[in-house]
């Protein structure tokens, strides 16, 4: 019996053939021999991968599907008959077996396949997994066995197809498949911990020694980091058994043979039924679930682990924090990821006060928004330590890593999130300095401060870091700078009047002799050259991508054109001047998508830059067509109407099709007269925008200058009775 077929979608076929999805639709319509759908729906059909590959070869469109791509397609197809987590666990078991038995063949009969997987399960380190891995192999029937055999065969092929010199093809194959599965939403509500965050949290737990526990280990990223850093025993618990198996298998592949390290991953609810004894771990590092309303409030109300008060029903995160403290030995560290609301919610005030007053809470570190997860929350790292004696620390470290890690602004004025390298360096250095001398820790305005615990034990016990950080020095604006700004603003206002246009001075037109021509016709005759830059990532094959000569260049975006600002980006561009000519004097730049069609003639700062893939570059023969005349007409309501009529609406924006816009042909002298008028209007618009921006900046600077003295006078004065 052969392996079962693998099903693929039209999008999968497009990726395999390195074409756009629309090409696949065209093939289905134009070629009677294109494979027929074997599943799916009319709107989303699925095709047999073997038939598709055979058809593509007959058309000379592909030389074969890479083994890793075939593996993913086979794995994606197995979801219809078995849980993907179980299928992935089976792949992991077989890859472990393949390490010791490189000549293994995958049978397709259910009994033989079950026997192979049972033998593979025995390769798993004994006593290192609480859940029944071998249980996956019992009771296999068709079509599960057939589909699973296809996946396992593809996995073996991918492992054997590893790059020359690849140290461990089976491990790489499993980790690649596992990572792709987790990245595409392995299960609802599950978000894998970024490796950089895991590295930072494990480092904050202190010198690796003894046992590390993650009571909500997920796919095991924190545990893998702990093993790499030298912990001798790794413990983890995960609610979802299939995800727990993945964590255990990932650890098995990373298990170093040259030094002792053991691990145990148990499935189950860590809060209701903890799998490991209390007071055992040297450290607990975890990224537990947030905002869990069903964490066991009613069942655990009388739990002995609530040494700092029973958490409220809506404070599941504080329940995880206390459970973690109960698992560490005296002096043991707890590093836990928290949402920002835990630091200030009224329902958690009593627990926060107890954690502070009894010396368990040592630091709260606010991470840059969006750095640690797919959502834009400024997540926090809480560092706790189980008290050893009655002596309690008298300071709490509060940090906001956003500003201190080097947050900058782009040329367009938007914030650029600091990198993990910057954040980790700032956080670890600050934590080490604080641990060495909490009372002597130097304040860093806007970044870090050691706050006396007594200052925090008020009615709110709001521990939000930014609330307790000293303000950074206010921007000092001298009187001379304000005077200079006012003078520049006055000069700009005066130039506005000089650039106003008197339309009565324009030459008269003989409307009967004026004819209009589509830009597409002018393009065919060479009068107009219209080009859209292609993205470097748009190369259809690796050979084409390698042939692109990349250079660093300034880039003009559609947003730059609309806002009237200089090129705002710097990046890799195609350095071939034939495929991607730089902007020259007289070139016209038009955004492809905008709320209103806007065309600008290249300014001095644009020369030598490159248009983004969202911008049309229009180059004209100045002996036939005046660039300012054409840019002015394209920017008019009539030009926009024509572009919109042949374009498409995108949420209030229009997609521009310049080639169908009809431009009136006038004598060159008349064009230049109109062009000079359009140019003056462009100058008026630019000066008006500059006056607007400078006026707002002047107003803000004046407010800051007036208020700065009041702010510091308030901070320096004693508190009112």
Q: Per-residue pLDDT for 547 more than 60?
A: no
Instruction: Please write the tens of the pLDDT for every residue from 567-598.
Output: 988 888 887 777 788 999 999 999 988 777 88
Summarize pLDDT for 504-538 with one digit per residue, the tens: 667 777 767 778 888 989 988 889 999 887 654 44
d(C-alpha 398, C-alpha 231), whole Å: 28
Q: How far apart are CA 511 and CA 371, in angstroms?
A: 61
Q: What is the Cα–Cα distance from 517 to 659, expressed in whole angstroms?
A: 10
The arrangement of strands across the sheet holding 448-452 comes to 262-267, 233-238, 211-214, 281-286, 328-338, 380-385, 361-366, 395-400, 448-452
Reported for 224-230, long-range contacts at CB under 8 A and 24+ positions apart, including other chains, are: 224/198, 224/250, 224/251, 224/254, 225/195, 225/198, 225/199, 226/202, 226/285, 227/251, 227/254, 227/255, 227/256, 227/261, 227/263, 228/254, 229/202, 229/203
Sheet containing 39-40: order of strands: 7-9, 45-48, 39-40
What distance lies between CA 614 and its chain's CA centroid? 22
Q: Average pLDDT of 272-298?
A: 93
359: left (phi over 0), alpha (psi -120 to 50) or beta: left
- Cα gap 325→281, rounded to integer Å: 10
User: What is the rounded average pLDDT of the residues 388-409?
Assistant: 77
Q: In terms of pLDDT, which residue wins out, 668 or 180?
A: 668
| pTM assigned to the model | 0.66
10 pLDDT above the threshold of 70? yes
Q: What pLDDT was estimated at residue 186?
A: 44
pLDDT of residue 414: 44
Q: What is the mean pLDDT of residues 218-240?
A: 93
Tell me which residue has tokens 């063949």: 105
- pLDDT at position 647 is 42
Distance CA 272, CA 294 (A): 11
Supply 503's token pair.
């339309």
Query: Is the model's pLDDT at 45 over the cut of 80?
Result: yes
Tokens read off for 635: 């920017």
Query: Which tokens hold the place of 138?
Result: 């019992």
- Determine the Cα–Cα distance for residues 81 and 75; give it in Å rounded to an integer: 11
Average pLDDT, integer, range 549-556: 84
- Quick one: pLDDT at residue 483? 83
Q: What is the pLDDT of residue 564?
A: 84
d(CA 307, CA 305): 6
Name the band, by pLDDT with cuts 50, 70 and 90, for residue 709. low
DSSP per-residue codes, 26-59: HHHHH-TTSPPP-EE-SSSEEEEHHHHHHHHHHT
Tokens of 542: 């690796």
Using only C-alpha atoms, what is the Rg of the chain?
33
Longest distance between any two alpha carbons in the chain, whole Å: 99
d(CA 176, CA 522): 52
- For residues 452-473, average pLDDT: 89
CB 245 within 8 A of CB 129: yes
CA dihedral 679, 682, 688, 693 (to 10 degrees): -130
Q: How many CA atoms lie within 13 A of 456 on its CB side?
A: 34
User: Can you give the pLDDT at residue 555?
Assistant: 92
Q: What is the DSSP letter of 466?
A: H
Three-state SS for 170-200 is HHHHHHHHHHHHHHCCCCCCCCCCCHHHHHH
At residue 49, the pLDDT reads 82
Rounded to 5 degrees, what angle do the CA atoms 416, 422, 424 make? 130
Query: DSSP label at 130?
Result: S
Looking at residue 708, what is its pLDDT?
64
The pLDDT of residue 4: 54
Q: Which residue has the higher pLDDT, 448 or 548?
A: 448
Contacts of 269 (CB under 8 A, 6+ apart): 239, 296
Q: How confident is the model at residue 60 (pLDDT cuts 50, 70, 90)?
A: confident
Are the C-beta atoms of 311 and 351 separated by less than 8 Å? yes
**Is the pLDDT reported for residue 497 higher than 50?**
yes
Instruction: Supply the pLDDT for residue 112.
Output: 83
Average pLDDT over residues 167-185: 81
Q: Is residue 279 predicted with pLDDT exceeding 70?
A: yes
274 within 8 A of 215, measured Cβ to Cβ: yes
Residues in the chain: 721
pLDDT of residue 464: 94
Which is higher by pLDDT, 640 or 249?
A: 249
pLDDT for the residue numbered 352: 96
Assess whether pLDDT exceeds 50 at residue 357.
Answer: yes
Whether the per-residue pLDDT at 659 is higher than 50: the answer is: yes
130/11: higher pLDDT? 11
Which H/E stretch holds residue 708? helix 668-716
| Range in 615-624, 680-689, 712-721 with the lowest mean pLDDT | 712-721
HSE-up of residue 180 (Cα within 13 Å, Cβ side): 14
First to last CA, the chain: 88
Alpha helices in 263-408 (DSSP H): 316-327, 349-357, 401-404
DSSP-assigned beta bridge partners for residue 591: 615
Give the model's pLDDT for residue 398: 97
Q: Which residues contact 195 (CB under 8 A, 6 or more apart)?
A: 221, 225
| Residue with the two structure tokens 């690849």 | 166
Selection from 102, 113, 184 nearest residue 146 by Cα? 113
pLDDT at residue 259 in the model: 54
Q: How many helices (H) and strands (E) does the chain have?
A: 23, 26
The residue whose two tokens read 């076929």 is 13
Residue 49 CA to residue 291 CA, distance in Å, equals 42
Question: 352 vs 145, which has greater pLDDT?
Answer: 352
Split at pLDDT 50, 70, 90, the class of 202 is very high
Mean of pLDDT over the chain:
82
Residue 663 · residue 515 · CB < 8 Å: no
pLDDT at 602 exceeding the cut of 50: yes
Give 448 or 692, the one with higher predicted confidence.
448
Alpha-carbon distance 456 to 468, whole Å?
Answer: 9
The stretch 144-171 carries a mean pLDDT of: 79
Span of 1-5, 311-315, 342-346, 588-592 with lowest mean pLDDT: 1-5
**What is the model's pLDDT at position 239?**
92
Residue showing tokens 């093939």: 27
Q: Are 656 and 646 in contact (CB under 8 A)?
A: no
Q: How confident is the model at residue 649 (pLDDT cuts 50, 70, 90)?
A: very low
Spatial neighbors of 164 by CB under 8 A, at least 6 apart, are: none
What's residue 719's pLDDT? 45
Distance CA 462, CA 446 (A): 17
């Amino acid at each position: 019996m052969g392996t079962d077929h693998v099903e693929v979608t039209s999008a999968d076929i497009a990726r395999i053939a390195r074409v756009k999805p629309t090409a696949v639709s065209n093939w289905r319509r134009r070629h009677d021999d294109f494979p027929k759908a074997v599943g799916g729906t009319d709107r989303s059909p699925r095709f047999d991968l073997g038939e598709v590959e055979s058809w593509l070869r007959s058309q000379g469109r592909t030389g074969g599907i890479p083994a890793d791509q075939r593996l993913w397609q086979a794995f994606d197809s197995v979801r219809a008959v078995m849980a993907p987590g179980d299928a992935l666990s089976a792949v992991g078991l077989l890859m472990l077996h393949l390490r010791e038995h490189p000549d293994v063949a995958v049978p397709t009969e259910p009994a033989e396949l079950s026997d192979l997987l049972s033998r593979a399960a025995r390769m798993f380190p004994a006593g290192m997994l609480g859940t029944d891995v071998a249980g996956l192999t019992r009771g296999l029937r068709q079509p599960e066995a057939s589909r699973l055999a296809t996946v396992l065969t593809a996995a073996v092929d991918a492992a054997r197809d590893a790059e020359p010199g690849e140290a461990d093809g089976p491990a790489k194959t499993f980790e690649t498949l596992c990572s792709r599965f987790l990245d595409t939403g392995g299960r609802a509500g599950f978000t894998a911990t970024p490796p950089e965050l895991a590295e930072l949290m494990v480092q904050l737990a202190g010198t690796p020694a003894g046992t590390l526990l993650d009571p909500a280990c997920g796919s095991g990223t924190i545990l893998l980091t702990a093993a790499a850093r030298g912990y001798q025993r790794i413990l983890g618990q995960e609610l979802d058994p299939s995800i727990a198996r993945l964590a255990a298998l990932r650890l098995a592949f990373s298990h170093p043979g040259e030094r002792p390290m053991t691990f145990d991953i148990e499935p189950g609810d860590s809060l209701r039924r903890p799998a490991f004894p209390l007071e055992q771990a040297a450290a607990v590092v975890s990224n537990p679930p947030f905002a869990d309303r069903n964490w066991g409030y009613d069942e655990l109300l009388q739990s002995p682990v609530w040494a700092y008060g029973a958490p409220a029903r809506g404070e599941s995160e504080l329940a995880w924090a206390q459970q973690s403290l109960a698992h560490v030995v005296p002096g043991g560290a707890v590093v836990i990821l928290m949402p920002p609301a835990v630091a200030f919610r009224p329902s958690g005030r009593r627990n926060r006060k107890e954690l502070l007053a009894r010396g368990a809470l040592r630091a709260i570190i606010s991470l840059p928004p969006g750095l640690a997860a797919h959502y834009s929350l400024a997540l926090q790292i809480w560092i706790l330590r189980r008290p050893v004696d009655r002596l309690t620390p008298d300071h709490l470290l509060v940090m906001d890593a956003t500003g201190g890690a080097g947050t900058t602004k782009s040329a367009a004025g938007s914030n650029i999130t600091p990198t993990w390298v910057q954040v980790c360096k700032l956080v670890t250095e600050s934590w080490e300095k604080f641990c060495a001398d909490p009372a002597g820790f130097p304040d860093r305005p806007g970044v870090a401060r050691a706050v006396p615990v007594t200052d925090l034990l008020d009615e709110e016990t709001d521990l939000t870091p930014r609330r307790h950080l000293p303000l950074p020095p206010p921007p000092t604006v001298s009187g001379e700078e304000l005077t200079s700004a006012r003078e520049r603003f006055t000069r700009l206002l005066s130039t506005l009047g000089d650039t106003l246009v008197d339309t009565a001075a324009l030459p008269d037109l003989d409307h009967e002799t004026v004819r209009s021509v589509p830009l597409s016709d002018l393009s065919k005759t060479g009068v107009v050259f219209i080009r859209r830059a292609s993205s470097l990532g748009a190369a259809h094959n690796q050979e084409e991508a390698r042939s692109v000569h990349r250079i660093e260049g300034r880039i003009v975006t559609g947003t730059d054109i609309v806002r009237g600002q200089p090129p705002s980006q710097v990046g890799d561009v195609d350095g071939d001047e034939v495929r991607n000519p730089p902007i020259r004097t007289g070139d016209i730049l038009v955004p492809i998508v905008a709320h209103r069609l806007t065309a600008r003639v290249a300014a001095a700062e644009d020369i030598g830059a490159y248009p983004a893939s969202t911008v049309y570059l229009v180059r004209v023969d100045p002996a036939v067509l005046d660039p300012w005349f054409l840019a002015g007409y394209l920017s008019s309501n009539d030009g926009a109407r024509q572009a919109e009529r042949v374009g498409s609406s995108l949420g209030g924006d229009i997609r521009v099709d310049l080639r169908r816009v009809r431009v009136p042909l006038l004598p060159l002298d008349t064009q230049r007269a109109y062009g000079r008028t359009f140019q003056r209007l462009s100058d008026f618009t630019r000066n008006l925008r500059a006056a607007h921006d400078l006026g707002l900046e002047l107003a803000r600077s004046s407010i800051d200058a007036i208020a700065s003295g009041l702010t510091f006078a308030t901070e320096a004065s004693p508190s009112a009775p």
